[in-house]
Structure 1
Amino acid sequence: MADTVLSVRGLSVRFETESGAVEAVKGIDLDVDAGETVAIVGESGSGKSQTMMAVMGLLARNGRADGSVRYRGEEILGLPARALNRYRGRKITMIFQEPMTSLDPLYRIGEQIAEPLMRHAGLSRTAARRRAVELLDLVHIPDPERRLAAYPHELSGGQRQRVMIAMALANDPDILIADEPTTALDVTVQARILELLSELKARLGMAIVFITHDLGIVRRFADRTYVMKSGEVVESGATGTLFERPRHDYTRMLIEAEPSGRKSPPPPDSPTVLTAEDVRVVFTRHEGLFGRRRHDLRAVDGVDLTVRRGETVGVVGESGSGKSTLGRALLRLMPAAGLVRYEDRALMPLDRAAMRPLRRHMQLVFQDPFGSLSPRLTAGEIVTEGLLVHEPGLTRAERDRRAAFAFEEVWLDPATRHRFPHEFSGGQRQRIAIARAMILKPALVVLDEPTSALDRSVQKSIVELLRHLQEKHGLAYIFISHDLAVVRALSDEIMVMKSGKVVERGSVEAIFDKPREAYTRELIAAAFLDGRGVHMEAAAGPGL
């Protein structure tokens, strides 16, 4: 008989807002057995995170949960905070998507790991420090004794997530709830975090509840899966069975939502839009007493690149590989050396004033649309910001008409242009960011991780939109991403970067089917954890 550690029955979550009550979760049932991994999947807004926030008693102040949540038979829903803390942080723990916002930037890592040990286990400061070293070693952080003194910003994204896992494991929990713990990580780091969680589950015998929109991870990692849509569980069952024989249309849509197909190649005689030769970006850091010791970091080291009208060059690599720095250097948004030529004009000798009229032809779309859109402006005002600089003679009415047309171009209802950014979904906000670039009729667009924070189904629609706009306007794209499925669907040529250098380049077919470099094979193997869509025998290579 299964040993059920968490039983949820008839759980409902509602939020009181100025416009009335919003039902986020609608009477769901869910069970988690000891030692198993249960995945909760669905698109943003499906209620999957709010389900577990209710279990943990972490709903926002305007939220209310009804129903039953039992931990090993004991009702915990609605307990006062003091009583709930006997379970929360001890027997049931949670890690979140973005560790940088979960870790306090003002406290050292050792202090943050020690706090739950002193609070819940009653350990002395010395004993808590000793246990913190053990936990960092458990999650495979090198030199754990030294890392205790580090601040969060001194660690990589993967290391910060390992610290969060260490904190969650501090008191030997029965259940670890992981809410999108790998979404913001590179594919290789993501693979290592998943391997770590599998190892820890096996070693410690705990159950894991894995909240995600990435079905590739679920297929590999979960024993059972619950599929949520609009606050309801529409399908559940053994993961293998659910993927092989999905019963619900929504489940089938999620499974088929991987970006697919290929873009049309540019005509052979397409003119060159941008050429770069031997591009170098060096950051200088002064260390030691009075900063006497100089250390140069070559973020971009001798990169060549050519992109033609209608062509997409994909740039892939782990965090710190230099791909985003390269994109900004090509647009002259940071100091760099080498040659960069837009059409027939060399950009490096130009000062800020000389660059200004060229800026409208070379646009940048960022990873986080919410962070790059001003919350004080309406969507229409955001989209037309560039027109104030590059076409100052336009009247307000003319700018508004241009905004409406730009909204139509990115498949948004023009009537929504009077709303503010927080009133849009993540995918809609990214369309607004694309519209802001498109309204200036650019020739080149640098897209820096534009789909990494989006659901797979939303990613697929953004890929289709970018293909459509490229074909309609003959745009040249430089597409920067660590998501190889999206890169494959959008690119003509791929450049693989590591430590500031291009280690491999070639057509999509050459990179995915016959990668030459071990680093490229590692990226591909990590990106396609379930083996779909790539020749894994060729991609894995020896030793992977």
Structure 2
Amino acid sequence: MTADSKGTNENVLSVRGLKVDFTTPDGDVNAVKGIDLDVKPGETLAVVGESGSGKSQTMMGIMGLLANNGRVTGSAKYRGKELVGLPLQGLNEVRGSKITMIFQEPMTSLDPLYTIGRQIAEPIVHHKGLTFKQAKVRVLELLKLVGIPEPERRINSYPHEMSGGQRQRVMIAMALANEPDLLIADEPTTALDVTIQAQILDLLRSLQKRFGMAVVLITHDLGIVKHFADRVVVMRRGEVVEKGSIKDIFEQPKEDYTKMLLASEPSGTKQPPADTAPIILEGRNVTVDFAIGGGFFFGSNTAFRAVDGVSVRLKKGQTIGIVGESGSGKSTLGRALLRLLPSGGHYHFGDKNISSFDRSAMRPLRRELQLVFQDPYGSLSPRQTVGEIITEGLLIHEPQLSRTERDKRAVAALKEVGLDPAARNRYPHEFSGGQRQRIAIARAVILKPKVVILDEPTSALDRSVQGQVIELLRDLQKKHGLSYVFISHDLAVIKAMSDYVIVMKNGKIVEEGQTEEIFDSPHQAYTKTLMAAAFDLE
């Protein structure tokens, strides 16, 4: 254990009897049920458990960041100072300087109206007393530290112009800017590919050692926990079921639940469709360019090619996995195939040439071409109940259905994705990240589409739930003859889910082929690097 900067060994954070409750139309939801935990100076404490176990809500309660219908009771002391019940002014003296938090879903934490350079500079100017010119130097340094490519250009980018992984790294840069005493990292590598995961973890470890910073790591990825944490707290249904050192938890777990988590891993294989299966969606020579305008600091109008001459042919019943590092063009390609953004190339859906289809012409096809977004919270309206969200498409595409019939379809869809039908009366903020991801899947499948593009659909899910979702998607595919484009940085999930794999880098395809061929005998150095990084983190 490392002594803190004050020269004492007192706990950085001491939590006793902490409870978090939410008031809902169906009664109170007890998200956290009186837990105890301690964070020691300089250590990394991992908090693990399935989606909905209360991991994130525990820390949100401590930080005073619960939604309006949430309340926290009990005790949470930062170096002896009680945080529960502390007035906002007192909390603000601690938050952002002494304790910072990296959130699970960065798109909802970044202002869409400001460049990422401006957003990182603001807290530096406020807390450190620097000028914006001085802050610009620090911003570039932070962007380089967290692995953002071309930081001099990206400093002028807006959040929507960056991939999910890049936005996550921006959040990490913001959290580390003021060298906090305690960093709460809520799934900090969820949206990152395996090579960048390793870089980010090395970065956090080096900063932790340099500043004596304590870290609370909230994650479902036990591979990361094993390599990065000192101690582990295992949570289930709002309670702590087991805690101990890394050695104790991984080598001698006492509880069956902990053993189940350690044994969970995506498995199985996807058989390819018959050679005679028809092509249902095709994009030939797909190109996507983004205009990059002048930003807060500097820059002139330029064009950035995100997808460069890529061709994809998706058969009925096939699952194509697309892998590559953050910013490789995976998600942009998926949106181009659905004709959701301006792009060049030739496109066919079934026997229809949709290359020249505008927004109006594509509208009747939307129910058959669905997309599950990487960031479910950003795509779910906070003002609508889950039932309203997942049946919204029915209002447009099946207007003849009565309200009762739509409700029945919502119940069925929620059951299909493993959620309690009563969830349809609740709002998105009342769910964990993993539960919100399943809501997003329910919204897509309720329309019974022919093609679903899944953009990191399991990125926020723990391993045990990943397996359930994979089985769900397989069952839906078999039952309805669905075709998937499965975009992910998680190679274990890609291997279990896909029958064909495309590897992308810098907007181009560097390798493609049958799943078994790509995983067992990759030809390109880049593909081999991805495989090696994934294996090292297991």
Asked whether the two chains share a fold, i.e. TM above 0.5, the reply is: yes
**Structure-1 residue corresponding to 2:336:** 329
Give the direction of change, closer, same or farther, for the CA distance of 1:233–1:311 in structure 2 (3 Å limit). same
CA RMSD of superposed structures (Å): 4.0
State which of 368, 374, 381 in structure 2 corresponds to 1:367: 374
**Structure-2 residue corresponding to 1:10:** 16
**TM-score, normalised to structure 1's length?**
0.80
Give the direction of change, closer, same or farther, for the CA distance of 1:228–1:297 in structure 2 (3 Å limit). same
**Structure-2 residue corresponding to 1:160:** 170
* DSSP 3-state at the match of 1:5: coil
CA distance in 1, matches of 2:188, 2:396: 41
1:508 is displaced (CA, Å) by: 1.8
CA distance in 1, matches of 2:308, 2:466: 31
Give 5+ residue unaligned stretches, structure 1. 119-123, 533-544
Q: Deviations over 1:400-431 (max 9, x none)?
A: 55555545544555666566555665555444
1:102 is displaced (CA, Å) by: 4.7
Which structure has more relative contact order (CA 8 Å, sep 6+)? It is 2
Give the direction of change, closer, same or farther, for the CA distance of 1:50–1:293 in structure 2 (3 Å limit). closer
Judge conservation of contact 1:4–1:31 (CA < 8 Å) in 2.
no
**Structure-2 residue corresponding to 1:474:** 481
Judge conservation of contact 2:265–2:463 (CA < 8 Å) in 1.
yes
**Residue range with higher mean Cα deviation, 129-138 or 45-54:** 129-138
Give the direction of change, closer, same or farther, for the CA distance of 1:109–1:490 in structure 2 (3 Å limit). same
* DSSP 3-state at the match of 1:157: helix
The aligned amino acid for 1:109 is I
The aligned amino acid for 1:66 is G
Give the direction of change, closer, same or farther, for the CA distance of 1:103–1:435 in structure 2 (3 Å limit). closer
Matched, 1:449 2:460: no
Q: Deviations over 1:34-93 (max 9, x none)?
A: 33222111233333334444555666675333246362x677766666667776655544
**Structure-2 residue corresponding to 1:540:** none
Aligned identity (percent) is 56
Give the direction of change, closer, same or farther, for the CA distance of 1:189–1:398 in structure 2 (3 Å limit). same
CA distance in 1, matches of 2:196, 2:75: 38
CA distance in 1, matches of 2:67, 2:352: 54
State which of 283, 303, 306 in structure 1 corresponds to 2:313: 306
**Structure-2 residue corresponding to 1:237:** 244
Judge conservation of contact 1:216–1:528 (CA < 8 Å) in 2.
no
**Residue range with higher mean Cα deviation, 260-269 or 195-204:** 260-269
Judge conservation of contact 1:108–1:148 (CA < 8 Å) in 2.
no
1:492 is displaced (CA, Å) by: 0.3
CA distance in 2, matches of 1:379, 1:52: 24
State which of 346, 351, 354 in structure 1 corresponds to 2:353: 346
Give the direction of change, closer, same or farther, for the CA distance of 1:352–1:443 in structure 2 (3 Å limit). same
Matched, 1:46 2:27: no
**Structure-2 residue corresponding to 1:198:** 205
Q: Deviations over 1:12-38 (max 9, x none)?
A: 224463666654444433333333222
Matched, 1:116 2:121: no
Judge conservation of contact 2:384–2:427 (CA < 8 Å) in 1.
yes
CA distance in 2, matches of 1:426, 1:203: 32
Give the direction of change, closer, same or farther, for the CA distance of 1:305–1:226 in structure 2 (3 Å limit). same
**Residue range with higher mean Cα deviation, 1-10 or 213-222:** 1-10
**Residue range with higher mean Cα deviation, 474-483 or 57-66:** 57-66
Judge conservation of contact 2:108–2:378 (CA < 8 Å) in 1.
no
Judge conservation of contact 1:139–1:165 (CA < 8 Å) in 2.
no
Matched, 1:437 2:444: yes
Q: Deviations over 1:184-225 (max 9, x none)?
A: 334333221111011122333333222222212101101111
Give the direction of change, closer, same or farther, for the CA distance of 1:501–1:419 in structure 2 (3 Å limit). same
Give the direction of change, closer, same or farther, for the CA distance of 1:349–1:65 in structure 2 (3 Å limit). closer
Give 5+ residue unaligned stretches, structure 2. 3-8
The aligned amino acid for 2:329 is G
CA distance in 2, matches of 1:130, 1:373: 34
1:502 is displaced (CA, Å) by: 0.7
1:467 is displaced (CA, Å) by: 0.5
1:468 is displaced (CA, Å) by: 0.5
Matched, 1:247 2:254: yes
Judge conservation of contact 1:109–1:147 (CA < 8 Å) in 2.
no
1:244 is displaced (CA, Å) by: 2.3
CA distance in 1, matches of 2:154, 2:360: 48
